[in-house]
Amino acid sequence: MPIRLSKTTPDDLPCLYQIQLDQDANQMAAFTSESGTDFRLYFEKYANHLADPTISMWTIRIEQQIVGSVAKFVMAGDAGITYWIDKEFWGQGIATKALTQLLQHETTRPVYAYVAFDNSGSQRVLEKCGFRKVGTDRGFAKARQAEIEEFIYQLD
């Protein structure tokens, strides 16, 4: 299934907002945004991200349909990546293809990813893209209302 990345625009945000509302996806991601269910807060946050030169946000499309997003950001001086795929499209290799394309655009290394200990699908995506598990951490997972273990992945 051919996918295409395009720079995220404010016009993409309403659709991306709807995609991230899925409860199963939130449970799987675990570490979710405080602005998740409030469109105004979500739009403000991501409009600010679009203006931030340290954040590179891309919308994932199949033909013209938005199916998710992928981004590179900087946190505590380290490059990190994140992605979110519409649940309807899980298991089709879209995250792997999108992350591969992002890593061709964003060549900063090392780059890190954090993933919930039980999110095996996301762990496989990272490993297929050349990331290796380099550590663990614990953090409060808003979607689960509990502290959980997360794995730290790195791509050199």
* 129-140 pLDDT tens trace: 999 999 999 999
Segment 47-94, tens digit of pLDDT: 999 999 999 999 999 999 999 999 999 999 999 999 999 999 999 999
Q: Which residues of 127-142 are buried (b: 16+ CB within 10 A; e: fewer)?
A: eebebeeeeeeeeebe
Instruction: Note whether 70 and 82 are within 8 A (CB).
Output: yes
For CA atoms 34, 38, 41, 45, give the dihedral sign. Answer: positive
Instruction: Note whether 26 and 34 are within 8 A (CB).
Output: no
Domain boundaries in the chain? 4-155
Q: Which residues contact 11 (CB under 8 A, 6 or more apart)?
A: none
Phi first, then psi: give them for residue 59, nearest 5 degrees. Answer: -95, 135
pLDDT confidence band for 148 (50 / 70 / 90): very high
Whether 123 has a pLDDT exceeding 80, the answer reads yes
Question: What are the distances in angstroms from CA 106 to CA 4, 10, 80?
Answer: 15, 21, 10
Instruction: Note whether 115 and 141 are within 8 A (CB).
Output: no
- Of the candidates 107, 53, 65, 59, the residue with the CA atom closest to the CA atom of residue 83: 59
For residue 48, what pLDDT is reported?
A: 96
CATH class of 4-155: alpha beta
pLDDT confidence band for 36 (50 / 70 / 90): low
| Structure-token pair, residue 85 | 């795929």
pTM: 0.94
